[in-house]
Amino acid sequence: MKEELSDYLLKNSFLLYPDSFRRLREDVYIFVAKKDSDKKIGLLTNGNFKLSSPHFAEDKYVEELGFYINLYPLTYENYLILKDNFGISPVTCKEKASFGTGDRLGLATPAHIKALKNYNVFPVLAQQSPRELVKTHRDFKDVFLKVILGVLEAGYAGGYGADADHIKDEKYLIEAIDAGYTMYTLDLSDLLVKISDMPKSQLKEKAQSLSSQSREIIDRFKGKKFSISTDEDFAVSEDELYKSALTYEKAMKFVEKVYGILKDRLQHFDLEISIDEGEKDTTVEDHIFVAEYLHRKGIDFWSLAPKFPGEFQKAIDYKGDIKKFTSGLKKHYFLSKKLGGYKLSLHSGSDKFSIYKIFNEITEGNFHIKTSGTSWLQAINIIFERDKDLFNDLYKIALDNLEESKKAYKVLIDRDDFPQTIQTEDSQILLKPEIKQLFHISYGVLLDERRKEIYEVLNKYEEEHYEFVSKNIENHLKEIFNI
């Protein structure tokens, strides 16, 4: 049937994605087909099931198939019809290991699936932050629909998640809920109280205003000793617990509010608490205070993202003392088991090859890792390979806007690190850390200036683009699972 369908579609200038063709029920088959760069959902039916905005004015009966055929755009309305009838929605995670793949362009989901489906890991395929939405001029629904389309294109029938990443306010939270996301990552960085510059007298004064719950946590854990193993232990400092309470108590109110909204509106969801973007590394006291406070409030969170020792800059490997990272990770994982069994999450997880194996081993495979910009960089790789003139234009635009792009990301690159023109005959140029970082943070301005041309190249060389993305994600997974 697939060959006959492909032949029929070709007569109508549509190209079938062979992996997409599958039966939803006895009288309904679904597939994805493309005409130029426009992808549509196709249905073979007995004539009783339809979506909105059909390509053909009326369903066409194809005698050699024995079904009626039509094609439809994947609008949100059409998604809801498919969701209600066939359960193609994202789900919450029930697996130990999970891996997030952000897709700033809305093109890479089939490539992500190709890599992830071969590993014992739960894929979180829709993963976008408000910052990325603003820079790419997208919204949560558009990101969501592009992932659904990619799932259908790949013919993927397994479970997958959708992460509304770095949520800092109620506006974006509601938008993500309305779109159908299953995971919510709360970024507390803007709500943390900066106490590093406060004199001791002021700290003592502020400590008097802590809630009774915060005081109870301090009283319970101060001076407590924990043994990770026969030769590794640590003690909890009362002074540090006070500092943790002063830093995080305000942010806990926001988590309470968000959790209440989620519980009112959703039956199931995964909640991640992100404290990885504060001013200092997450101490064991910080971890204890946050986890214990939330649990005492009845807030069941799925994962916690601490700020580990070292630097987690965009697009490059981990920078720092791996022994310190390992030591800190062991303590945080010990606490995650001791205080509730939630996952530890590694943010800015792209290209952190030197610590993947350690992260997997110490967490006993109970982790979440987030990547995003690494897939965008594969798009830049394709442009470098296939359109040098466009690549040169993108480089100049990125360089001219470097200072503005740096405002949103932590990278240690400056204008003086780069030549005015780039040597495109150097096939290794995109492996240089400063070049990777430049393009990683510049996606917003590059899409503003050259969106049409970028998408044209990627659509023209779609198979090659998919191959670059899937190989890159697989390189991450091989290192994580030591394969």
Cβ–Cβ under 8 Å, residues 228 and 334: yes
Active site residues: 165, 272
Instruction: Count the Cβ atoms, other than its own, within 10 Å of residue 110.
Output: 24
Contacts of 303 (CB under 8 A, 6+ apart): 270, 271, 272, 273, 342, 343, 344, 345, 368
Pairing between β-strand 367-371 and β-strand 343-346 as defined by DSSP bridges: parallel
Q: Binding site annotation covers 166?
A: yes
d(CA 379, CA 317): 19
CA distances from 271 to 226, 233, 274, 391 (A): 27, 29, 10, 39
d(CA 35, CA 31): 14
CA distances from 182 to 150, 178, 268, 389, 455 (A): 17, 11, 7, 41, 28
Q: Which residue type is seen at 275? A: I
d(CA 388, CA 478): 31
Cβ–Cβ under 8 Å, residues 110 and 153: yes
Q: Binding site annotation covers 465?
A: no
Tokens (6 digits) for 311: 């630097």
**What letters, b where the CB count within 10 A reaches 16 and e where it falls short, cover 209-239?**
ebeeebeebbeebbeeebeeeeeeebebbee
d(CA 69, CA 123): 32
Using only the alpha carbons of the chain, give its radius of gyration. Answer: 24
- Alpha helix (H) ranges present in 365-432? 373-386, 388-400, 402-406
State the chain's maximal CA–CA distance in angstroms: 85
Q: Binding site annotation covers 295?
A: no
Q: Which residues are annotated as a binding site?
A: 166, 314, 347
Q: Which residues are annotated as a binding site for a divalent metal cation?
A: 166, 314, 347
